[in-house]
Amino acid sequence: MTSENSKIEPGRRASDAVRGFVLVLVAVTFWGGSASLAKFLIVHRFDTLIISQTRSSLSFLLLALYFGLVDRPVFRIHPRDLYQFALLGVVGIAVTNFTYYFTAKETTVATAIIVQYTAPIWVTLYAVAVSGEEQLSGVKLISLLLALGGCYLAVSGGSAAQIRLSGWAIVTGPLSAFAFSFFMIYTKRVLKRYAVWTMLIYMFGMATVFWMFINPPWDIAAKGYSSADWGILLLFAVVSILIPHTAFTASLKLLDASTVGIMSTLEPVIAIVVAYFALGESLTAVQVLGAAGVIAAVVLLQLGANRFLRNGDRRVHAQ
């Protein structure tokens, strides 16, 4: 006889999978869309450090203020777990952002993006070969290769000359990929014990503390930013990290880390499309082909997930 729980489990998993895919799409859309905004702000108004710092700090203040007023139990954690949030805030947020921007500044944006988006390889290798949490299916392997190849073509236009690491970027480039990989892997682990909002508050909070040591408040005050400047920084924080990180973190609660990693390669595709329309940057046929490859990878993942869940549903009903 089939239990009641087993009867509803396949449908629930299917619903979770769909929600997870939608959440990743929301995250990468905001990340990709805000890339052009970040470039504009850095070129015309702010330095890279203040952009990186205020993204997480202002997001933390917004969340802390809201939940401090309406849902204080969200702040409850076990003191022994504080170091886990510190690792996510410092390595997963601050280090990932800084090393990415530094690599882009020292080399090219294409180099920074392509190196960072090798992260799905490391996430998949860890989940399959180290933790044993996932199995490497043919669909996932093909999706991974399609996504990485498509990302390379979409960002570089097929020109190897666009990809170059030199100086400290030899260190910061790979470090950005490993930090992003760590963020996905470790976030999924912490989410087994804590709610998404709890994790976001403490993760952003730890990143805020870290940045205060790098760029203390009195140094920021000395720059004399106007109220309009702070309004821009607040808006940028919401669209570039608060909304997308909330969606991305929630997706990791519903999907495999490797699946989320592969889908995240949509971000640079969205970024170049937005840059084409918003900033007038070029978009070649090779880049369009690469974008199609990434989209095909995501569609293949979705079809593979649907097939797996349908097979699971049939097995349950056959019991």
Pair of tokens at residue 266: 């949509």
Q: In this predicted structure, what is the pLDDT of residue 219?
A: 93
Q: In this predicted structure, what is the pLDDT of residue 182?
A: 95
Q: In this predicted structure, what is the pLDDT of residue 209?
A: 95
Pair of tokens at residue 225: 């930013």
Q: In this predicted structure, what is the pLDDT of residue 300?
A: 86
Q: What is the pLDDT of residues 57-69, one digit of tens each?
A: 999 999 999 999 9
The CB-side HSE value for 39 (13 A sphere, CA atoms) comes to 18
Q: In this predicted structure, what is the pLDDT of residue 248?
A: 94
Residues of the chain with pLDDT under 50: 1-8, 309, 313-319
Check if the beta carbon of residue 298 is closer than 8 Å to that of residue 266: yes
Q: In this predicted structure, what is the pLDDT of residue 3?
A: 37
Q: What is the pLDDT of residues 97-134, one digit of tens each?
A: 888 878 877 777 777 888 888 899 999 999 988 888 88
Q: In this predicted structure, what is the pLDDT of residue 22?
A: 92
Q: In this predicted structure, what is the pLDDT of residue 56?
A: 92
Cα maximum dimension of the chain: 71
Q: Residue 131 and residue 249: Cα distance in Å, rounded?
A: 20
